[in-house]
Structure 1
Amino acid sequence: MSIDKSLKPKGKLSRPRNVYRKVERIAILKAENRWDQDTSVFGLPKVKVEKLKRKGKAPKKVEPAEAGKAGKAEKAGKAKK
């Protein structure tokens, strides 16, 4: 019995993998100049998997011109009270 398409999770294979396939490992080794044509595809050296960093919320940056205006507005608000 198969699962209905609407019940399957979306993007099931979109998460990062922690192991490369042989073809991917050979491509990375070629880019790093660590691969020769005479080398066997069995017993390939390990290749480090680069993990993607999650993007956090960046703190709101205030430009110096706006910072001066904001500071003056706060001082004016305190003076009126």
Structure 2
Amino acid sequence: MSIHKSLKTGSGIGGTRNVLTRYERILQMESEGRFNEEEHSPIGLPKTRVLKVKKRAKKKKEKDKDSEEA
């Protein structure tokens, strides 16, 4: 089967993934101090949150505000 055109992206690598592999989840939990190899099993790990970076909207410069007032 082919992929619907609305599901394709311009660059396959450019997007953020919302699902981590088990290895990536273990690394993230170890860095947070929530996983210890001796105490916890690598099977049945809890979900880990993946933060997406959003771009901020550009603010108008003060020069634009001064020219609008005049």
Fold similarity call, TM over 0.5: yes
| Larger RCO, structures 1/2 (Cα 8 Å, 6+ apart) | 2
Q: Aligned partners of 1:33 and 1:49: how far apart in 2?
A: 17
Unaligned 5+ residue runs, structure 1? 1-8, 75-81
Which letter maps to 2:44?
Answer: G
Unaligned 5+ residue runs, structure 2? 1-8
TM-score of the superposed pair, with normalisation by structure 1: 0.57
RMSD of aligned alpha carbons: 2.6
Q: Aligned partners of 2:36 and 2:57: how far apart in 1?
A: 44
Which letter maps to 1:43?
Answer: G
Structure 1 or 2, whichever has the larger Rg, is 1
Q: Aligned partners of 1:57 and 1:27: how far apart in 2?
A: 33
SS where residue 14 of structure 1 aligns?
A: coil
The structural deviation recorded for 1:37 is 1.2
The structural deviation recorded for 1:10 is 5.5
Q: How does 1:23-42 map onto structure 2 within 5 Å?
A: 23-38=23-38, 39-42=40-43
Q: Aligned partners of 2:30 and 2:13: how far apart in 1?
A: 26
Aligned residue pairs, count: 60
Q: How does 1:1-80 map onto structure 2 within 5 Å?
A: 11-38=11-38, 39-53=40-54, 55-62=55-62, 67=66, 74=70
